[in-house]
Amino acid sequence: MLQGAIFDMDGTLVDSLGFWDFIWERMGEYYLAKSGFCPKPEDDKFVRTARIVDGMQHIHKQYGFAESGKALFDFFMAELEEHYRTRVTAKAGVVEFLQYLQENGVPMCVASASEKPLIKTTLEAVGLAKFFPIIVCCNEVGIGKEAPDVFLAAARALGTPVDSTVVFEDSLTAIKSAKRAGFLTVGIYDRHNFGLDELERTADWFVGDGESLTKLIPWKDQ
């Protein structure tokens, strides 16, 4: 029986992961004075689920961008805030599915690697803030989604048992972490992400290309 729901934000609730292509291009223009920059695949993959501060420290060390990891973090956050305020939209079917959970008394929260002020700004901008009185971010637990800590913290905040709480994620790394901790999982297709075939095989349920969360109505775990 579904008792609680934990949602990632980027690529799961909102269509925002195109930002990564944009920010790599901006970094190349700003720090290398040329277009077409893209980090190594392993670096790109790492920063998508790490805490942003850790990701930017990593990129600074690997590529020498900015005078420090903190300076690169500040550059990244300024670009990110503008992107979220002006370009991001809720993914198809999200509002309808959240309304369904709310009407059925399922408590929900967001667990994200993004910074909490940015999470709040984004949820307000796309009309989803009313569904999420609880937000937990990786900065609060001190580690990214390569570990399940943020999901465990979210379940404690919801007051729901791990084995009847569902984690909704577009990231294979995050889905694996959640499953190791005993959560039920829903994998979400996003064309900007890695390992989609394995994500589909690993998650308990999968929302594929051209589908939306409404495919899960009514909820299937009965």
| Structural contact between residues 111 and 73, judged by C-beta atoms closer than 8 angstroms | no
Question: What pLDDT is stored for residue 21 in this prediction?
Answer: 86
Q: What is the pLDDT of residues 11-29, one digit of tens each?
A: 999 988 778 888 999 999 9
CATH topology of domain 4-15+89-216: Rossmann fold (3.40.50)
* Whole-prediction pTM: 0.84
Q: Please give the helix or strand (H or E) that residue 31 lies within, else none.
A: none
């599915």: which residue's tokens? Answer: 97
- Structure token pair of residue 130: 């009313």
Residue 31 CB neighbour total at 10 angstroms: 17
Its sign, for the CA torsion 197, 97, 210, 41, is: negative
Q: Which amino acid is at 53?
A: V
User: Within 13 Å of residue 137, how many CA atoms lie on the same side as its CB?
Assistant: 14
Residues of the chain with pLDDT under 50: 222
Q: What is the pLDDT of residues 96-130, one digit of tens each?
A: 999 999 999 999 999 999 889 889 989 998 999 99
- Structure token pair of residue 99: 């309304």
| Structural contact between residues 87 and 207, judged by C-beta atoms closer than 8 angstroms | no
10 Å CB burial of residue 188 (0-12, 13-18, 19+) is buried
Q: Which of 38, 14, 17 is nearest to 26 (CA)?
A: 38
How big is the CA angle at 220 (ends 216 and 221), to the nearest 5 degrees?
Answer: 135
Please state, in angstroms and rounded to a whole number, the distance separating the CA atoms of residues 66 and 54: 15
